[in-house]
C-alpha cells in the first residue's frame, strides 16, 4: 500500500513539474512578447523539447523518488543541481543548434520562473509529507535486529521521530537494553523468525557482528521470500570516529572513510561555473570602479605596493600565490608572523580593510585563475601548514578541497589569529565538515552570510 502511494506521489510531482515548466513558458511569453510570439512553430517546438528533456533529467536524476528521511536542504540542493544542468544543456542546444533564433531574455525568464516554481513546490511537498507522516499515515513498519550505540542513536533521532514515518514493531537482541527502549524489546535473536512470520513487516534493520553470519544470511533469505526490504548497519561502524561510505568494485564492497560531494564531476562543474559567473560579474560591476579607489587610498596612506602576494597551501597541498590588498607596512616577517590584535604593522586604512574583509577582495583574481574557489577552507601560509599538520589531527584533510575566499569556518567565528592549537583545530574541524557536506545551497548560504557580515556585523577576531 505504502509503495503504491509513493508511486502516486512521484507521478503527481512529475506532473506538477511539467505544469510549472509550461506556466513558466507562458509567463515568459507574456512578459517578453506580450503574447505575440514571432514564430509560433519554433517556440512551441521549444516547449515540447523542454518538457521531454526535463522529464528525462528528473527521472534519471531520481528527483521523483520519495525520501523517507527528509532533509530539506539536501532535497533543494539536489533539485537546483539538476535544474542548472537542465538549463546548461537546453540553452547550449538552443543557441548552438539554432543559430540564436530564440530570444535570450525569453529563455532567461522561463528558467528563472521555473527555478522559483520548483523550489516553492518542493518545499510544499516536503512539508506535506512530514505533516502526513506525523499524523500516522504512510508509515513504514520496521523491526530492528541487534543493539549497539549506532542503533540507539538511530532509534532516538530517526525512528522515534514521527516526521520520518517509521513504526518500530520490535527490537530483538541478546545484548542488554536501556529502559528508554524497553517498550520496543520483543525478545532474543532466536525469536526473530517466529515474530516475522506472525507480523506484517516492511523492513528489517540488522546490526549484528560477523559471528552471527548464519543468522544474517537466514534473515536475508527470509526477507527475499517475504518481500521485506533489508538495511544493514555495519556492526564495526560503532568503533569508527568518522563518517564513511561504501563503494563497490567488481561486487566487492570497499569502504571510504569520508563522503566528498566535490569528487563528483557534476558537482565540480556546478561549483566552477558559479565561481566564474559570480567572479566575472564582481569584476565588471564592482571592481572596475572600487579597485582604483582602494588602490589610491593605499598608495596615499602608506609606502609600498597596492597588492600583497604570498605563497599559501592550496588544493592537494600544492602552493600558489594568494593575492590581497596590502594592509600592513612593508615588513620582513609577513611570511612567518600572523597578524595579531593591535599589530603595529597594520596601517589605519589596513585595519578598516581587515575589519570589513575588503583586503581579501583581490582573491577573486585567484578564483578566476582557478587557484581558489569563492567558498572553501581558507588558505594558510606555508609555515603554518607545516606546523599545524603535526599539531592538529586531520589538519591536512582540509586540503582535499580548493581553498576559498570565505568558508564555513569563517562564518562560524573561526578566523583571525590562532593563539592556541585548539583555535586551529576548531577551524580544521569546520573545514572538514564543509568538505563532507558540500552542496550548492550551502555555498550560497555562506556567501550571503559573509556579505551580510562585511556590512552589518563586527567580528572581534578580524584584525
pLDDT per residue over 274-285, tens digit each? 999 999 988 888
Length of the chain: 463
Residues 187 and 234 in one domain: yes
Last residue of a domain, one of 79, 109, 134: 134
Mean pLDDT of the chain: 84
Residues 218 and 282 in one domain: no
246, part of any domain = no
Residues 186 and 228 in one domain: yes
With a threshold of 0.75, does the pTM exceed it? no
Domain count, the chain: 3
Whether the predicted pLDDT of 2 surpasses 50:
no
Residues 280 and 218 in one domain: no
- The rounded distance, in Å, linking the Cα atoms of 69 and 164 is 5
- The rounded distance, in Å, linking the Cα atoms of 3 and 9 is 10
Nearest Cα to 133, choosing from 168, 162, 169? Answer: 162
Residues 289 and 431 in one domain: yes
Residues 123 and 224 in one domain: no
Question: Predicted confidence band at 298 (pLDDT cuts at 50, 70, 90)?
Answer: very high
Whether the predicted pLDDT of 200 surpasses 50:
yes
Residues 367 and 446 in one domain: yes
pLDDT at 294: 92
Whether the predicted pLDDT of 1 surpasses 60:
no
Most confident of 56-70, 133-147, 256-270, 296-310: 296-310
In this structure, the number of other CB atoms found within 10 A of the CB of residue 56 comes to 11
Whether the predicted pLDDT of 8 surpasses 70:
yes
445, part of any domain = yes
Residues 403 and 309 in one domain: yes
Q: Which three cell numbers stand for residue 156?
A: 532516538
Question: Predicted confidence band at 379 (pLDDT cuts at 50, 70, 90)?
Answer: very high
pLDDT at 371: 93
What tens digit of pLDDT does each residue of 20-44 get?
Answer: 999 999 999 888 888 777 777 878 8
- Of residues 440 and 247, more confidence is placed in 440
- The least confident of 145-159, 165-179, 249-263, 403-417 is 249-263
Q: Is 13 exposed, middle or buried (0-12, 13-18, 19+ CB in 10 A)?
A: middle
DSSP letter string, 175-212: S---GGGGGGEEE-GGGHHHHHHHS--SEEEE---GGG
pLDDT at 193: 92
Question: Predicted confidence band at 318 (pLDDT cuts at 50, 70, 90)?
Answer: very high
The DSSP symbol for 245 reads E
Question: Predicted confidence band at 447 (pLDDT cuts at 50, 70, 90)?
Answer: very high
55, part of any domain = yes
Full residue range of the structural domain in which residue 370 is found: 265-456
**Contact residues for 363 (Cβ-Cβ < 8 A; gap 6+):** 322, 323, 324, 372, 405
Q: What is the mean pLDDT of residues 438-450?
A: 90
**Contact residues for 104 (Cβ-Cβ < 8 A; gap 6+):** 95
Amino acid at each position: 500500500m505504502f509503495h503504491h502511494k509513493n508511486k502516486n506521489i512521484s507521478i503527481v510531482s512529475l506532473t506538477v513539474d511539467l505544469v510549472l515548466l509550461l506556466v513558466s513558458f507562458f509567463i515568459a511569453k507574456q512578459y517578453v512578447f506580450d503574447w505575440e510570439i514571432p514564430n509560433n512553430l519554433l517556440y512551441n517546438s521549444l516547449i515540447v523539447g523542454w518538457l521531454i528533456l526535463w522529464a528525462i533529467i528528473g527521472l534519471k536524476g531520481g528527483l521523483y523518488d520519495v525520501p523517507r528521511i527528509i532533509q530539506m536542504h539536501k532535497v533543494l540542493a539536489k533539485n537546483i543541481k539538476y535544474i542548472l544542468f537542465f538549463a546548461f544543456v537546453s540553452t547550449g542546444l538552443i543557441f548552438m543548434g539554432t543559430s540564436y533564433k530564440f530570444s535570450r531574455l525569453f529563455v532567461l525568464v522561463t528558467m528563472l520562473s521555473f527555478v522559483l516554481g520548483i523550489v516553492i513546490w518542493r518545499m510544499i511537498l516536503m512539508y506535506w509529507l512530514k505533516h502526513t507522516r506525523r499524523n500516522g499515515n504512510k508509515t513504514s513498519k520496521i523491526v530492528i535486529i541487534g543493539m549497539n550505540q549506532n542503533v540507539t542513536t538511530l532509534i532516538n533521532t530517526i525512528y522515534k521521530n514521527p516526521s520520518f514515518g517509521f513504526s518500530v514493531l520490535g527490537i530483538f537482541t541478546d545484548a542488554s537494553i536501556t529502559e528508554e527502549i524497553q517498550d520496543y524489546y520483543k525478545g532474543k535473536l532466536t525469536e526473530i523468525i517466529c515474530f516475522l512470520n506472525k507480523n506484517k513487516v516492511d523492513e528489517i534493520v540488522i546490526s549484528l557482528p560477523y559471528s552471527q553470519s548464519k543468522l544474517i544470511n537466514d534473515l536475508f533469505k527470509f526477507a527475499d521470500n517475504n518481500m521485506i526490504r533489508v538495511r544493514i548497519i555495519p556492526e564495526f561502524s560503532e568503533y569508527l570516529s568518522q563518517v564513511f561510505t561504501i563503494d563497490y568494485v567488481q561486487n566487492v564492497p570497499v569502504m571510504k572513510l569520508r563522503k566528498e560531494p566535490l569528487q563528483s564531476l557534476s558537482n565540480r562543474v556546478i561549483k566552477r561555473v558559479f565561481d566564474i559567473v559570480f567572479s566575472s560579474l564582481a569584476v565588471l560591476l564592482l571592481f572596475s570602479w572600487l579597485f582604483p579607489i582602494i588602490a589610491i587610498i593605499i598608495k596615499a596612506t602608506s609606502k609600498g605596493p597596492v597588492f600583497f602576494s604570498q605563497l599559501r597551501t592550496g588544493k592537494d597541498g600544492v602552493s600558489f600565490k594568494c593575492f590581497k590588498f596590502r594592509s600592513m607596512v612593508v615588513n620582513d616577517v609577513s611570511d612567518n608572523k600572523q597578524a595579531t590584535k593591535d599589530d603595529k604593522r597594520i596601517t589605519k586604512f589596513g585595519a578598516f580593510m581587515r575589519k570589513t574583509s575588503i583586503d581579501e577582495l583581490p582573491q577573486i583574481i585567484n578564483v578566476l585563475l582557478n587557484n581558489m574557489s569563492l567558498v572553501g577552507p581558507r588558505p594558510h601560509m606555508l609555515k603554518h601548514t607545516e606546523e599545524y599538520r603535526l599539531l592538529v589531527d586531520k589538519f591536512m584533510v582540509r586540503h582535499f578541497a580548493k581553498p576559498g575566499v570565505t568558508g564555513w569556518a569563517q562564518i562560524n567565528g573561526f578566523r583571525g589569529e590562532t593563539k592556541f592549537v585548539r583555535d586551529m583545530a576548531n577551524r580544521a574541524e569546520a573545514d572538514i565538515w564543509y568538505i563532507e557536506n558540500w552542496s550548492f545551497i550551502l555555498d550560497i548560504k555562506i556567501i550571503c552570510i559573509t556579505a551580510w557580515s562585511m556590512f552589518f556585523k563586527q567580528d572581534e577576531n578580524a584584525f
